[in-house]
Amino acid sequence: LPALTYLNLRENKIDKDGPEIDKCSELEKLAPLKSLCKLNMQGNPYSDAVEDTFKREVLIALDMLQWQSVNKDEVAEEDKTEAKEEKLARIKAAEEAAEEARLAAEEAAKKAKEEADKAAADAAALQKQLTDAIANLEAELKAAQAAKAAAEDAAKIAEKKAEEESECREDA
């Protein structure tokens, strides 16, 4: 089909790629037809939906072809120039949007890292507080055990002394 110059796809139900997508990737499939210069897609959902801009969309998607007419409408140099400018504007807008998205993702990643670093620092501070509290509790427990042991020893000494005094009274 490299010599094909005219393609009539009238009334073939060719539509855009999706309800939210104003593009028809089916057009791009015509790019290998290097001699194609006339295209008729009247009566297709896509060409009917974008009727006023269909010719421009063809010229943008297939700018490598030497167009003479689209949907039986002659293609002028002005049409080609406008399509080229629109394509460049779309490319620039897409590049700018991609750059904005990259910067936003970079900023989100930076913010997430800052939040993660803060959470890690908070966790480390909390861990230190818990470690200190455990150390204080262990020290208090040891002190309480020592006090209990001292009290038990004092009680034994007092009991022994009381027994000795009692024995001394009995002997006297």
Please compute the mean of the pLDDT values over residues 65-76 and round it to a whole number: 95
Least reliable range by pLDDT among 31-35, 45-49, 143-147: 45-49
* Residue 21, phi then psi, degrees to nearest 5: -115, 120
Give the whole-angstrom CA distance, residue 65 versus residue 30. 10
pTM score > 0.85 for this model? no
CB count in 10 Å sphere of residue 57 = 20
Please compute the mean of the pLDDT values over residues 108-114 and round it to a whole number: 97
Least reliable range by pLDDT among 76-85, 95-104, 154-163: 154-163
Mind giving me the DSSP string for 143-172? HHHHHHHHHHHHHHHHHHHHHHHHHHHHH-
Tokens of 145: 């055990």
What integer pLDDT is reported at residue 17 of this predicted model?
A: 67
What integer pLDDT is reported at residue 28 of this predicted model?
A: 87
Please compute the mean of the pLDDT values over residues 166-171 and round it to a whole number: 80
